[in-house]
């Protein structure tokens, strides 16, 4: 899986570079490219492996993989803004508004979102019906019922009088990080016009495990490795899986959820893409970045 993961990362990096190649020169284009550097490309990997699982070649899935990564990059740029999470470090580099300024960061995020949607018009993906199906699912994953809604809840929770309970944190995270992960992991089935239900099940567990691991990393992680500030949730008094469950129980829970993600893929006959998706789920809770 490691070899495939690295090959995907390099191919996705190149495809992102190509997608952002022909923009008018200036801070806006520079900031957009900067915001896309250094991602782990987990979401792109989900798109490409769920596609392979349905015998869809990388060439058809790649524009969708790029769309997901551009969208993810936009969300990080806006989340890092002073008015939001106010972070100055991301992927080991100054955040976009530190490197440039707030206006450029807001606009770079806006343009990355538009560019992400534009990728879905690429005829390489397949029939127009498929591209429209992806468009609808993508927009739902992003907008006021998906990622952006999750982020709004997260911001609201910071100033709320009553801290969130476990069910609320789960719902919030299933929107904030889960919605885009679900889109990515089911994209292959949608491109192949196949039933996305088993992948949806896999992705729901994966997204949750991913977020619990993120909360754990915020407590145990080394900024030199994670490339972002740690210990922030505790300083902010934020309700997280770790603050609500304790570190050990959170770890146990993440491991159990990864087991469910792995099992969800039993719906498929097996093969390399299925095994890769299983390994990705296991990797999620052992990663240090």
Contact set with a copy of itself (CB under 8 A): 20, 23-24, 26-29, 32, 74, 78, 81, 83-84, 101-104, 106-107, 109-111, 113-115, 117-118, 120-121, 127-129, 131-133, 135-136, 138-140, 142-146, 148-149, 151-153, 155-156
Residue 134: CB minimum distance to a copy of itself, A = 9
Residue 21: CB minimum distance to a copy of itself, A = 11
Residue 65: CB minimum distance to a copy of itself, A = 17
How far CA 287 is from CA of 4, 33, 138, in Å, comes to 17, 25, 27
Do 219 and 230 form a contact (C-beta atoms < 8 A)?
A: yes
Q: Based on CB atoms, which residue is closest to a copy of itself, 48 or 141?
A: 141
Q: Based on CB atoms, which residue is closest to a copy of itself, 120 or 265?
A: 120
* Calpha distance 194→163 (Å, rounded): 41
Q: Based on CB atoms, which residue is closest to a copy of itself, 37 or 114?
A: 114
Burial of 279 (0-12, 13-18, 19+ CB in 10 A): middle
Q: Based on CB atoms, which residue is closest to a copy of itself, 23 or 93?
A: 23
Closest C-alpha to 78, from 176, 12, 163, 145? 176
Residue 156: CB minimum distance to a copy of itself, A = 7
Q: Based on CB atoms, which residue is closest to a copy of itself, 88 or 118?
A: 118
* Calpha distance 261→200 (Å, rounded): 10
* Calpha distance 207→172 (Å, rounded): 12
Do 245 and 253 form a contact (C-beta atoms < 8 A)?
A: yes
Residue 260: CB minimum distance to a copy of itself, A = 26
* Calpha distance 289→226 (Å, rounded): 4
């Amino acid at each position: 899986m490691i070899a495939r993961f690295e090959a995907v990362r390099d191919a996705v990096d190149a495809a992102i570079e190509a997608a952002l190649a022909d923009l008018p020169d200036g801070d806006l284009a520079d900031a957009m490219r900067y915001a896309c550097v250094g991602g782990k490309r987990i979401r792109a990997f989900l798109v490409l492996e769920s596609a392979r699982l349905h015998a869809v070649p990388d060439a058809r899935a790649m524009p969708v993989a790029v769309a997901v990564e551009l969208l993810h990059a936009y969300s990080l740029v806006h989340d890092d803004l002073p008015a939001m999470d106010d972070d100055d470090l991301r992927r080991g580099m100054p955040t976009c508004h530190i490197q440039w300024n707030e206006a450029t960061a807001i606009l770079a995020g806006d343009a990355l979102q538009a560019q992400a949607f534009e990728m879905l018009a690429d005829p390489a993906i397949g029939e127009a019906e498929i591209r429209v199906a992806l468009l609808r699912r993508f927009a739902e994953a992003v907008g006021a019922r998906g990622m952006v809604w999750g982020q709004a809840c997260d911001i609201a929770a910071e100033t709320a009088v009553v801290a969130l309970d476990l069910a609320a944190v789960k719902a919030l995270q299933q929107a904030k990080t889960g919605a885009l992960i679900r889109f990515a992991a089911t994209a292959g089935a949608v491109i192949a016009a196949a039933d996305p239900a088993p992948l949806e099940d896999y992705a729901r567990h994966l997204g949750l495990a991913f977020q619990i691991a993120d909360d754990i990393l915020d407590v145990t992680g080394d900024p030199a490795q994670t490339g972002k500030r740690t210990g922030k949730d505790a300083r902010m008094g934020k309700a997280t899986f770790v603050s609500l469950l304790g570190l050990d129980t959170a770890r146990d829970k993440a491991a159990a959820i990864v087991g469910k993600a792995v099992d969800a893929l039993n719906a498929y006959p097996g093969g390399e893409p299925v095994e890769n998706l299983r390994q990705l789920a296991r990797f999620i809770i052992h990663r240090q970045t």
